[in-house]
């Protein structure tokens, strides 16, 4: 019997899955603890299936820790041209916030940031701390390579590559 939408024994809800396994006389149990979810499916399938819950949260926290510190902008480009106020500016990542200053001396801007290192390329979302109702800056992708950081800022769509043809591209170096 085919398992899918046309199968009356199966639906996409949790109760439907439990019922599916019960009707097939499978043992279906989950034991949780210590951030591990262990499920054992006995019967004709057999086996022990283990998965680590919270892995993405752990990797996100580790990645955010790698970003922490002061970064100096070495170049900023947009549509092939140089962004004059960018070079020499600073980005400071600390405790889920990003504070930016440029070399023109304007007031620092503060953002909350959220990253997702599981995506390719890695993504970052910025929202003004003091902006109108946490207004979003726009979608960002980033590449962290030791003490070098690349940021590509999209306007409406998230960039897919690190070019400056349709978006701003910043290259930063960690300040020691």
Nearest-angstrom CA–CA distance, 30 and 71: 45
Per-residue pLDDT of the chain (176 residues; tens, 9 = 90+): 445 445 555 445 444 545 544 444 433 333 333 333 433 333 334 444 344 445 566 789 999 999 999 999 999 999 989 998 889 999 999 999 999 998 887 889 999 999 999 999 999 999 888 876 556 778 999 999 999 999 999 988 999 999 998 899 999 999 98
- Per the structure, how many domains does the chain have? 2
Q: Which domain holds residue 36?
A: 14-53
Tell me the CATH number at 136.
2.40.128.280
74 and 134 together in one domain: yes
33 and 119 together in one domain: no
Q: Is residue 118 part of a domain?
A: yes
35 and 97 together in one domain: no
**Ordered DSSP codes for 21-84:** HHHTT--EEEEEETTEEEEEE-SSS--EEEEETTHHHHHHHHHHHHH-EEEEEEEEEETTEE-T
148 and 160 together in one domain: yes
Q: Is residue 4 part of a domain?
A: no
Tokens of 43: 């019967």
């Amino acid at each position: 019997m085919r398992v899918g939408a046309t199968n009356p024994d199966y639906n996409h809800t949790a109760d439907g899955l439990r019922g599916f396994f019960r009707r097939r006389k499978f043992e279906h149990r989950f034991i949780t603890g210590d951030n591990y979810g262990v499920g054992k499916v006995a019967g004709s399938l057999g086996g022990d299936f283990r998965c680590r819950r919270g892995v993405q949260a752990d990797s996100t926290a580790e990645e955010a820790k790698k970003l922490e510190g002061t970064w100096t902008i070495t170049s900023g480009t947009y549509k092939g041209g140089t962004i004059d106020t960018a070079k020499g500016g600073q980005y400071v990542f600390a405790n889920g916030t990003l504070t930016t200053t440029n070399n023109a001396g304007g007031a620092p801007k503060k953002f909350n940031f959220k990253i997702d290192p599981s995506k390719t390329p890695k993504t970052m979302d910025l929202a003004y701390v003091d902006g109108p109702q946490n207004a979003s800056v726009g979608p960002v992708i980033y590449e962290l390579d030791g003490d070098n950081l690349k940021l590509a800022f999209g306007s409406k769509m998230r960039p897919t590559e690190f070019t400056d043809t349709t978006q701003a591209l910043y290259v930063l170096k960690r300040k020691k």
